[in-house]
Amino acid sequence: MRQRTPGSGRTVVFPFILVLILGFFFNLPGQQVDGNAILEKMDRNLNPVSYEAYRKLVNIEPNGRTKEFVLYTIKKGADKVAALFLSPASENGRSTLRLEDNMWLYIPNVAKPIRITSLQSVVGGVFNNSDILRLDYAVEYSVEKVEDLGGESVLHCKARTSAVAYDRLNIRFEEKRLLPLQIDCLTEAGMLIKTLSFKEIKDFGGGIVRPSVIETESPLYKGYKSVMIFANIKARDFEDEVFTLTFIPQLDSIRR
């Protein structure tokens, strides 16, 4: 379809391209929503492919008592994550490593790293090891359905393998910036395990604009809450050797 520009005598093409671009992610008549493409874009909006970051984890008990941990975290590509405990003093020097679905905990003065599982937690509280050593969501999950709520949408996701912590995720996100608002973590039967709430969007620089706080609660741990606060997320490349069991005791040496 063509239309004539008033007063110019020129004929221009109606902007179908813009319509197609908008329809790439969301429902327009005749357009197929690619939920997996949305999930991959959301991953990149949350973090660079390879990065370093500092995080504070706060566990809050029903009586109001809290315990805090500070971690230096690095990630490379789709399957490598490591984290170093900086505080409290009792945890300083401990490190965790994840390679695909395999996880280890290194404790200074212990002969060798200890195997850990995704459903355990090296910090206690509601966050488990899978939450702390998170890979990209698109690595672990595929999207079965996209539900449009008008301005917000929900990705209904299923685990790609049985090795992940949660069988299903329902990710509610804002369509404008493709950032998560809330994630319900479910069993295969649909029972709610925990809810992750993403809050306080912050500009970290380098094009990274994302929620700086993640809060989690679980019906399995009534009255308990855990909070993850992000700081200084930066894109950074690492050698593969950094993500090995032999290097994990030296993780502090790469901090700038």
**Residue 199, domain member (yes or no):** yes
* Amino acid, single-letter form, for residue 238: F
Element (H, E) at 101: none
Enclosing domain of residue 212? 35-254
Higher pLDDT, 34 or 8: 34
Q: What is the pLDDT of residue 32?
A: 61
**Residue 2, domain member (yes or no):** no
Q: What is the pLDDT of residue 28?
A: 47
Count: domains in the chain: 1
Task: Please state the rounded mean pLDDT for residues 161-175.
Answer: 95
Partner residues linked to 52 by β-bridges = 74, 234
Task: Please state the rounded mean pLDDT for residues 94-110.
Answer: 95
Q: What is the pLDDT of residue 6?
A: 42
Would you say residue 2 has pLDDT above 80?
no
Q: What is the pLDDT of residue 44?
A: 96
Would you say residue 7 has pLDDT above 80?
no
Q: What is the pLDDT of residue 8?
A: 45
Write the pLDDT tens digit of every residue in 196-219: 999 999 999 999 999 999 999 999
Helix (H, G, I), strand (E, B) or coil at 242: helix
Q: What is the pLDDT of residue 150?
A: 87
Q: What is the CATH number of the domain that holds 189?
A: 2.50.20.10
**Residue 16, domain member (yes or no):** no
Would you say residue 77 has pLDDT above 50?
yes
**Residue 18, domain member (yes or no):** no
* Residue 32, C-beta contacts closer than 8 angstroms, at least 6 positions apart: none
Task: Name the token pair of 176.
Answer: 């404008």
- Identify the CA nearest to 56 among candidates 213, 222, 179, 190: 213
Write the pLDDT tens digit of every residue in 234-250: 999 999 999 999 999 99
Would you say residue 233 has pLDDT above 50?
yes
Would you say residue 30 has pLDDT above 50?
no
**Residue 102, domain member (yes or no):** yes
**Residue 68, domain member (yes or no):** yes
User: What's the burial of 207, exposed, middle or buried (CB within 10 Å: 0-12/13-18/19+)?
Assistant: exposed
- pTM exceeding 0.75: yes
**Residue 182, domain member (yes or no):** yes
**Residue 3, domain member (yes or no):** no
Identify the residue whose tokens are 């221009």. Answer: 12
Would you say residue 11 has pLDDT above 50?
no
d(CA 157, CA 144): 6
